[in-house]
Amino acid sequence: MVRGNRSVMADIGQAAMLALWVAWPGVSLAQVVAPPVAPSVVEPAVTFPVTSAAELITPLATPPANAEAAPESLPLGSLWADPRAVARLFREACIQTEGQAAAAVDWALAQGFSPVDPMRGSTDELLAGEPGTVLAAPGSDSRVLLVAAQGARCMVWAERLSGPGLRLALVEMTGELAGKGARVQLQVERSIERSGAWRTQMQWRYRRVGGSQDFGIGSVTTLSAAPGTQALHFSPLPAATGIAPDGLKP
């Protein structure tokens, strides 16, 4: 079911979330009944230039002694409580490596990520039964995972995080990529109901500066600001046909 945005404080299980992802990359633009939605104009409040990948695992400042963390969110002192840190992780591990599993894993291990025990039940589900590696971000209590699979498929899975906050961070990040000369076009934005919960799916077509391969940058995020499970996805796209909105052939 596809409808307009609707704030519903609901969450869905991992199986339903993964089913949404498995179906999503194969959806062609011709199957999307609504025309592509132009990205919203977002004025970034803060930018995060990363001069070193090690900055991604630098802890946030210690919160005041009387500060209390929400029971269902990541601790306030955790870097991963900030959606922008999760978006940075996605950029460095998935986009900058163009989803190459070996490069993504090497980068993650150098930053202190830990391989997840393959016997853990969710590992096979995250990899959709295909060969690959799942790594846990340092200091995240395994609630922020990097999934590097064959076929240049790369995903960041984050639990107990704000959906709207991560969407904003992702829009800011894609704007930064476009500002540096990459081709970034928002193609799909829609709300989908699964198992009684509403989530927003977004997908951009991305090509790096000087590149010839198009990739999909996608997200599935909760509509509600309540902490929930979010996913960011990167994978190759088939060559585009026709004329792009800028009047140039893709």
| pLDDT confidence bin for 117, thresholds 50/70/90 | confident
Q: Which residue has the higher pLDDT, 171 or 3?
A: 171
**3-state class of 137 per DSSP?**
coil
User: pLDDT confidence of 122, banded at 50, 70, 90?
Assistant: low
Give the residue among 149, 144, 159, 68 at the shortest CA–CA distance from 113. Answer: 144
Residue with tokens 């989530």: 199
Q: What's the CA gap between 175 and 171, in Å, rounded?
A: 6
What does the alpha-carbon distance between residue 189 and residue 223 come to, in Å, rounded to a whole number?
A: 12
Other Cβ atoms within 10 Å of 32 Cβ, number: 17
Q: 151-162: per-residue pLDDT in tens? A: 999 999 999 999
Q: Give the chain's radius of gyration (CA, Å).
A: 17
